[in-house]
Structure 1
Amino acid sequence: MPELPEVETVVRTLRKKVVGLKIIEAQILYPKIIKSDISVDDFEEDLKNRTIEKISRIAKHIIFHLGDVVLISHLRMEGKWFIYDKNDSFDKKHILAIFKLSNEKLMCYQDTRKFGTFHYQGVNEYLNLNPIAKIGLEPLDMAVQGKYLYDLMAKSSKYIKTILLDQTLISGIGNIYADEILFDASISPLNKGNDLNVEMYQRIADSSRKILKKSIDMGGTTIDSYQPEQGIDGKFQNELKVHTRKNEPCYKCGQKVIKIKLNGRGTYYCEKCQS
């Protein structure tokens, strides 16, 4: 599942390839992807001749700025954006939307699980509407410090890993990076939110920025079936310290990394190093 670094990688790639191009035609092949109150016909018609002025990101959402409207894309589990030349041959299986662009380009949204979403909203209002309005700050925001996290999370009796995955509290962290952040911060995922003090939350804030920035620099993590864009392989999977490393020696102490289930999520950590 793409997390913040993978989505940032997609955004940077799309910017290079499609910003400044005009949408000549849009084809929605899976109508349920559109979550805004607009028909497929009206959506396709309204997109015609709109220019992709810029592409931004908030948490795990990709935002195409199209004049007075934005198209917000959430990749969910398996969503991917691919750019092709008009005459390229490609597998159309699992393609849910095709945008014919100027300069003989096709921008295609592929999603094997069909969990991804499109929201189509006004540029002056989308920040105050769901899905964006309910999203917490990103760890990359320097306002996210120990005291900020403490005030937000210290009253909770949930596991700290579960809390970090709550996008309404802090956004952009998914299962992989939660494991890596807690290992880097030397904090057990089994700690409850109300077990931690301000200093421990500061370690989480610092580790979050460190891990996410490094992963962004390396193009994200490519594991299982996720690849952020054609021709791109993230390299951060080579830096993982605990995630996917069940029964392998901890890089700090040599004790075996263990895997447990926390609220249904596979969770990797070192019992000795994380307390």
Structure 2
Amino acid sequence: MPELPEVETVVSILKKNVIGKIIKNISILYPNLIKTDILVDEFKNTLINKTILDITRIGKYIIFDLGDYVLISHLRMEGKWFYINDLSLVSEKHIEAIFSLDNGYYLIYDDTRKFGTFNLELKDEYKKINPIVKIGPEPFNEAVNGIYLFELMSKSNKYIKTILLDQTKISGIGNIYADEILFDAKIHPESKTNKLSLNAYNNIYESSKKILRRAIELGGSTISTYKAGHGISGKFQNELKVHLRKNEPCFVCKTNIIKIKVNGRGTYICSNCQILY
């Protein structure tokens, strides 16, 4: 599943290729992709002849700036964007939307699981309404620090991993990076948030920035459950310390990594290095 580093990588690749391009035609092959209350023909007519002015990211959402409107894309489990000049390069079976551009290329949204979403909203309003209005700040936000996390999370008795995955609290962290962050911070994922000290939250904050920055540098993680798309291959999976390393020795203490479930999510830990609070 794409997380903040993977989405950042997709945005970076798309920005290099489609900024300034004009949408000349649109084919919607899976209408349920569109979550805005709008007819498919109205969706298409609104976007045809629009120029892609910018592409940004809020949490795990990709924002296409189209002037008066924005197209908000969430990749969910398996969504991918392809920028290609030959439709045969992508399996037709999983194509959900095709945007024909004025340079002869296609911007294709492909999703094997069909969980991804499109929202078409007015640019002046989209940050005030769903789905964006509920998104919490990400670890790189200047307002976020250890004190912020402590004040936000310490009144709950939920597991710390569960809270880290709550995009309304802190955005951009998914299952892979929650495992890596908590290992780096030496905190067991089943630690209760009201048991953690300010120092523990400082460690989580610093580890979050460290892990996510490194993952962005390496283009995210390309693992068996998610590959980002045409021409995009992450390398951070080569630096994973615990995630997907069940029964392999911890790089720090040589104890075998174990896999547990935390609120239904597969979770990898070193039971020796990570302290349960």
Structure 2 length-normalised TM: 0.97
Does the Cα contact within 8 Å between 2:22 and 2:49 map onto a contact in 1? Answer: yes
What is the CA–CA distance in structure 2 between the aligned matches of 1:151 and 1:210, rounded to whole Å?
21
* Paired letter, 2:21: L
* Displacement after TM superposition at 1:87 (Å): 6.7
8 Å CA contact 1:86–1:104 kept in 2: the answer is no
- 1:105-120 correspondence runs (5 A): 105-120=105-120
Q: What is the Cα deviation at residue 229 of structure 1?
A: 2.2
| 2:10 and 2:232 in contact (8 A); partners too | no
How many residue pairs match? The answer is 275
Which letter does structure 2 place at the counterpart of 1:11?
V
Whether the 8 Å contact between 1:98 and 1:108 is mirrored in structure 2 is yes
For 2:135 and 2:169, the matched residues in 1 are separated by 7
Relative distance call for 1:89 and 1:148 in structure 2 (3 A) is: closer
Q: Does the C-alpha gap of structure 1 residues 86 and 136 become closer, same or farther in structure 2, counting only changes over 3 Å? A: same
Structure 2 Cα separation of the partners of residues 120 and 219 of structure 1: 27
> 2:84 matched to 1:91?
no
Question: Where does structure 2 lack aligned partners over 5 or more consecutive residues?
Answer: none
Distance in 1, Cα, partners of 2:267 & 2:226 = 19
Structure 1 residue 11 corresponds to structure 2 residue 5: no
Counterpart mapping for 1:60-99 below 5 A: 60-85=60-85, 89-99=89-99
Name the structure 1 match of 2:207: 207
Match of 2:175 in 1: 175
* RMSD of aligned alpha carbons: 1.0
Q: Does the 8 Å CA contact 2:71/2:121 hold for their aligned counterparts?
A: yes
Q: How does 1:1-275 map to 2 (within 5 A)?
A: 1-85=1-85, 89-275=89-275
How many Å apart are 1:140 and its aligned residue? 1.4
In 2, the alpha carbon distance for the partners of 1:141 and 1:64 equals 21
Post-superposition offset of 1:90: 3.5
TM-score for both structures, normalised by structure 1: 0.98
Identity %: 61
User: 4+ residue runs of structure 1 moved beyond 4 angstroms?
Assistant: 86-89
